[in-house]
Amino acid sequence: MFKLFHPNKIFQITSKAPKYILFLFVIVLSVGLTEALILSPEDYKQSDAVRIMYVHVPAAWISLGIFSSITFLSISGFIFKNKNFFLISKSLAPSGFVFNVIALVTGAIWGKPTWGTWWAWDARITSMLILALFYAMYLISWRIYESEEKVFKITTFITILGIVNIPIIKHSVDWWNTLHQPASINILSKSSIHSSMLFPLLIMTAAFALFSLLIFLMKYNTELIKIKNKGLDRL
């Protein structure tokens, strides 16, 4: 069903993309920071402390989205025996892990003025920490196992276990009594967050997504160069 890809042809496309992605990222980030730090209003309860939301929430969204993508690609690669899917997954994972850590750190910083503590074993915080551990296990597996067949199986198994945690993170505020407030943004119904805060939140999410894409392309190109150096002409 899926044709094997020639590394040289893929590299010709992906090697040119980063400079354009970087240019777009700088523009979108500049707009996002201006909206988030200058134009968006203070929260009537949290004052300026609410502005950390514009980093915390997009980072969490990106980390969840990347892990979901990694799971889909790993399962697809395992079923269809396509190495390229695994390379894409491997290249996505570092930025997903970084944004997961950013979400945890900014959450702790935000929690101090809001809840009066840096850390609490809140359901959402704990489930995000568990996601970071799955990311770490996934990345470590690529380093410690030399056999491609073995690492493909192990990383796929890790992602299948980890994906169970995604809906727990999403619905934890509804299933348990947590320090987090219920979701303010709903796709299927009207969001409770004001548009003056929603707009910069979405812009910052777009900026983080572009940054993730940039890191992915750099990592993916590195993997392609390794394959070319080994003299392999197929993925």
Tens digits of residue pLDDT in 116-157: 888 888 889 999 999 999 999 999 999 999 899 999 999 999
Question: Nearest Cα to 212, choosing from 72, 131, 91?
Answer: 91
Work out whether the CA dihedral 71, 74, 76, 78 comes out positive or negative. Answer: negative
Q: Tens of pLDDT along 43-93?
A: 777 778 889 999 999 999 999 999 999 999 999 999 999 999 999 999 999
Tokens representing 113 are 């003025």
| pTM reported for the whole predicted model | 0.91
State which of 93-97, 113-117, 187-191 shows the largest mean pLDDT.
93-97
Name, in order, each residue with C-beta under 8 angstroms of 145's C-beta and a sequence gap of 6 or more. Answer: 151, 154
